[in-house]
């Protein structure tokens, strides 16, 4: 299950570009002996600025943000980098900065930053040369998968829940249909395909070779088709019967997705076992402007009569209607993430700077500066998800001990740091950094 799936990248001849100018030197507030005190001071100033903005006191906020801007940097320690991004997000929210679309354009264009992975370098040079936003987002997603455990932990744990739920599949034809509501690059599924193929090849097993059908949802039909082609080739190499279907989701058209799911229920193949995969997806349905959208969605999922529903979510309260509560949650959550990046990647790593600015920076901007229907990061803590799932007729299926062992092995082999930890809570598995839980994976039926 720890097998990896690499997306295609460009050849080395694409690795030519003019080196950008070096960045300004990192700013320092104090000597190393006072670093902790300086970090606390920056955090206090950050919360003071947020409080002024919540009171519409733009003049006072401008003075604090000016101090924060001077004493933070995208090239400093984890606190300085985090404060730098939150300062920019607060500036956008308060109207002091109007150009939100290009706020991170020049942050990581440094010739002194280095790639810690040749694969990441090839992907970056190829995709920046093509200058395609969809390709760039895919590139960052692949880096996030390679350089942090967050996505792989979610994928592997959800996969194991699906394997456990279908181990005694007695539907007569061994057919498994997975509805993946946000398939992206399809990185989750090759390990599961390999496990299915190995299960049927076991000499002691009387299970016939399974067939697998994946319906992959996404916004970009080109990306979906590429994903389907890669998965089809991989399945063929394993001798696995495989079909891939695309389900294009129009941006923010959640009602359209509900209709598609209900149509899928009507066209279900007799005898298929259905698994629904909701990895980092369900939080989008927490939108007060659209009524009980989460309830309608879960009812649509229920109509599929799935054997298992897997769910992975952030362990954070970024959907709170209170700006200050949301802001405080975001600072604590991303501080833990930035600390983990600092512990596992060198300061001048280009991948680290890019992920902080282009991936997490975009999320921070959304949580802090966007309001109402514009905001996409609406994460809730697990206890909220647990209550919502039970209210709509779902029962928690315990994550098995093998999934815990597998996640532990993943951390030890690929992300050797004392900071990451795993916890079993309420029959679900959580990944955290030190004393802060960051992600949860649960399964339901």
Residues 441 and 398: their CA atoms lie apart, in Å, by 10
Tens digits of per-residue pLDDT, 93-109? 998 876 544 444 444 44
Tens digits of per-residue pLDDT, 75-96? 999 999 999 999 999 999 998 8
Name the DSSP letter for residue 343: H
**pLDDT at residue 132, as a whole number:** 58
Residue 424 lies in a domain: no
Is the pLDDT score of 186 beyond 60? yes
H-helix or E-strand containing 237? helix 221-238
**216 and 170 in a common domain:** yes
Identify the residue with better confidence: 292 or 338.
338
**116 and 182 in a common domain:** no
Q: Is 214 helix (H, G, I), strand (E, B) or coil?
A: strand
Q: Are 314 and 351 in contact (CB under 8 A)?
A: no
**390 and 249 in a common domain:** yes
Pairing state of beta strands 428-433 and 436-444?
antiparallel
Q: Are 387 and 398 in contact (CB under 8 A)?
A: no
**390 and 241 in a common domain:** yes
Q: Across residues 360-365, what is the average pLDDT? A: 96
**388 and 286 in a common domain:** yes
pLDDT grade, residue 155 (50/70/90)?
A: very high
Residues 77 and 87: their CA atoms lie apart, in Å, by 15
Q: Are 306 and 275 in contact (CB under 8 A)?
A: yes
**167 and 276 in a common domain:** yes
**187 and 305 in a common domain:** yes
Residues 118 and 106: their CA atoms lie apart, in Å, by 22
Q: Across residues 353-382, what is the average pLDDT? A: 91
**270 and 331 in a common domain:** no
**286 and 329 in a common domain:** no
Q: How many domains is the chain built from? A: 2
> Tell me, what CATH number does 200's domain have?
3.40.50.150
Tens digits of per-residue pLDDT, 201-231? 766 655 666 799 999 998 889 999 999 999 9
Q: Across residues 233-243, what is the average pLDDT? A: 95
Is the pLDDT score of 27 beyond 70? no
Name the DSSP letter for residue 397: E
Residue 442 lies in a domain: no
Residue 133 lies in a domain: yes
Q: Are 26 and 38 in contact (CB under 8 A)?
A: no
**176 and 269 in a common domain:** yes
pLDDT grade, residue 15 (50/70/90)?
A: very low
pLDDT grade, residue 139 (50/70/90)?
A: confident
In the predicted model, what is the mean pLDDT of the chain?
83
Nearest CA to 160 among 413, 409, 437, 419? 409
Residue 196 CB contacts under 8 Å (≥ 6 apart), including other chains: 163, 176, 210, 212, 240
Residue 185 CB contacts under 8 Å (≥ 6 apart), including other chains: 7, 138, 141, 142, 145, 223, 227
Residue 57 lies in a domain: yes
**190 and 201 in a common domain:** yes
Q: Across residues 113-128, what is the average pLDDT? A: 54
Residue 404 lies in a domain: no
**291 and 202 in a common domain:** yes
Q: Are 216 and 188 in contact (CB under 8 A)?
A: no
Is the pLDDT score of 28 beyond 70? no
Is the pLDDT score of 31 beyond 60? no
pTM above 0.75, yes or no: yes
Which residues does residue 425 pair with via DSSP β-bridges, in sequence order? 428
Tens digits of per-residue pLDDT, 303-314? 899 999 999 999
Residues 222 and 208: their CA atoms lie apart, in Å, by 34
Pairing state of beta strands 273-279 and 175-180?
parallel
Residue 3 lies in a domain: no
Residues 151 and 145: their CA atoms lie apart, in Å, by 5
Return the axis-axis angle of helices 133-147 and 118-130, rounded to nearest 10°: 170
**pLDDT at residue 206, as a whole number:** 59
Identify the residue with better confidence: 276 or 34.
276
For residue 287, give its domain range. Answer: 150-315+379-396
Residues 139 and 130: their CA atoms lie apart, in Å, by 12
Token reading at 359: 């991936």
Residues 228 and 234: their CA atoms lie apart, in Å, by 10
Residue 2 lies in a domain: no
Residue 432 lies in a domain: no
Is the pLDDT score of 7 beyond 50? no
Nearest CA to 97 among 50, 65, 71? 65
pLDDT grade, residue 236 (50/70/90)?
A: very high
């Amino acid at each position: 299950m720890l097998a990896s799936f690499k997306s295609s990248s460009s050849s080395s001849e694409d690795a030519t570009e003019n080196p950008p100018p070096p960045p300004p030197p990192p700013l320092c507030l104090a000597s190393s002996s006072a670093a902790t005190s300086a970090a606390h001071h920056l955090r206090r100033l950050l919360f003071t600025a947020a409080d002024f903005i919540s009171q519409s006191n733009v003049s006072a906020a401008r003075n604090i943000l000016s101090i924060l801007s001077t004493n933070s940097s995208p090239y400093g320690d984890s606190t300085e980098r985090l404060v730098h991004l939150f300062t920019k997000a607060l500036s956008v929210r308060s109207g002091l900065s109007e150009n939100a679309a290009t706020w991170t354009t020049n942050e990581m264009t440094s010739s002194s930053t280095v790639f810690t992975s040749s694969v990441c370098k090839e992907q970056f040079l190829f995709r920046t040369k093509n200058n395609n936003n969809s390709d760039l987002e895919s590139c960052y997603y692949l880096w996030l998968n390679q350089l942090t455990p967050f996505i792989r932990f979610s994928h592997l744990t959800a996969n194991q829940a699906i394997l456990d739920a279908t181990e005694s599949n007695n539907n007569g034809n061994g057919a498994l249909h997975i509805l993946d509501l946000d398939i992206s690059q399809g990185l989750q599924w090759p390990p599961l395909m390999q496990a299915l193929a190995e299960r049927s090849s076991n000499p002691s097993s009387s299970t016939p070779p399974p067939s697998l059908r994946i319906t992959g949802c996404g916004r970009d039909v080109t990306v979906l088709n590429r994903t389907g082609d890669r998965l089809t080739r991989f399945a063929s190499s394993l001798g696995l019967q495989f079909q891939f279907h695309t389900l294009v989701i129009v941006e923010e058209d959640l009602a359209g997705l509900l209709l598609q799911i209900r149509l899928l229920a009507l066209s279900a193949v007799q005898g298929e076992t259905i698994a629904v995969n909701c990895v980092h997806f369900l939080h989008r349905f927490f939108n007060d402007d659209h009524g009980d959208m989460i309830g309608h969605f879960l009812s649509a999922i229920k109509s599929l009569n799935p054997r298992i529903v897997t769910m992975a979510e952030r362990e954070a309260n970024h959907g709170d209607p209170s700006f200050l509560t949301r802001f405080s949650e975001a600072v604590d959550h991303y501080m833990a993430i930035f600390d983990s990046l600092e512990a596992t990647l060198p300061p001048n790593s280009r991948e680290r700077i890019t992920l902080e600015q282009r991936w997490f920076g975009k999320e921070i901007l959304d949580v802090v500066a966007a309001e109402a229907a514009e905001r996409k990061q609406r994460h809730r803590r697990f206890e909220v998800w647990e209550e919502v799932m039970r209210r709509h007729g779902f029962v928690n299926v315990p994550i098995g001990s093998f999934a815990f062992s597998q996640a532990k092995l993943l951390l030890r082999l690929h992300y050797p740091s004392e900071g990451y930890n795993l916890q079993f809570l309420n029959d679900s598995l959580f990944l955290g950094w030190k004393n802060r839980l960051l992600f949860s994976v649960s399964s339901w039926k």
